[in-house]
A and B are shown apart, each in its own frame.
Chain A
Amino acid sequence: AQKITQTQPGMFVQEKEAVTLDCTYDTSDQSYGLFWYKQPSSGEMIFLIYQGSYDEQNATEGRYSLNFQKARKSANLVISASQLGDSAMYFCAMREVNTNAGKSTFGDGTTLTVKP
């Protein structure tokens, strides 16, 4: 089974609107971290936001927030007030502390296009 599932290969959003990118994960580890990265056409992977499995509050970083639902094993990224510069590929990733040798596993990504 895939450890990280991003079910939306592509998403469109109107400028200034909010958009949610889905991510579900699978792990039996009690301690793990969840990440979102943005990859624009230049190729660089830009770290956006982090959520620890024991964090009770949803993580927020500026216009980015992570909707963490532990029981459902989902970690959706919400981007508020979309901007044209948000058009990029977005990857959800998980690092399990005690299994998988602490390596990170990445989803297949979602390509977000912001329309003017």
Chain B
Amino acid sequence: GAVVSQHPSRVICKSGTSVKIECRSLDFQATTMFWYRQFPKKSLMLMATSNEGSKATYEQGVEKDKFLINHASLTLSTLTVTSAHPEDSSFYICSARAGEHADTQYFGPGTRLTVL
């Protein structure tokens, strides 16, 4: 099956700093990538949809200036949490779809962010 990697898997940072999370599709080209946030024992909450070469589409209530998304190539999307605060601590998961009409999303292993 398709493989999606995420880096780092775990990060601890101080309040006020910025953190970048990378999502890569390793064996396929991902025209669309998704970024989710998940709280413990809860469902995935879609934050934004990232299309290669264009601006990300953010879900209602998600601050685009706080969660910067860049999809510079068909295999890489990045999420930068700017000026992180403790309430940003969460599990962030990316997923990738091979094409607009592809059905299955393949997920990365997730990044656990802890902001002190």
Q: Are A45 and B95 in contact (CB under 8 A)?
A: yes
Is A15 an interface residue when CB atoms closer than 8 A count as contact?
Answer: no
Contacts of A42 in B (CB 8 A): 109
A33 contacts B103, CB within 8 Å?
yes
Number of A-B contacts (CB under 8 A): 54
Inter-subunit contact A109/B43 (CB<8 Å): yes
Instruction: Report if B46 contacts A (CB, 8 A).
Output: yes
Tell me the chain B residues, 41-100 only, with Cβ under 8 Å from chain A: 41-44, 46, 49, 57, 91, 93, 95, 100
* Interchain nearest-CB distance for B72 vs A (Å): 22
Q: A44 to B41, Cβ gap below 8 A?
A: no
- Name the residue of chain A whose CB is nearest to the CB of B10: A43
Which residues on the A side are within 8 Å of B103 (C-beta)?
Answer: 33, 35, 50, 52, 95
A95 → chain B closest CB, angstroms: 6
Are B107 and A45 in contact, CB atoms less than 8 angstroms apart? yes
Q: Verify A103–B46 contact, CB threshold 8 A.
A: yes
Task: Answer whether residue B105 sits at the interface, using C-beta atoms and an 8 A cutoff.
Answer: yes
For B110, what are the chain A residues with a Cβ–Cβ distance below 8 Å? Answer: 43-45
Chain A's nearest CB lies how many Å from the CB of B86? 20
Q: Which residues of B contact A37 (CB under 8 A)?
A: 107
Q: Which 6 residue pairs across A and B have the least CB separation, nearest first? A: A45-B107, A43-B110, A33-B103, A44-B109, A108-B43, A106-B44
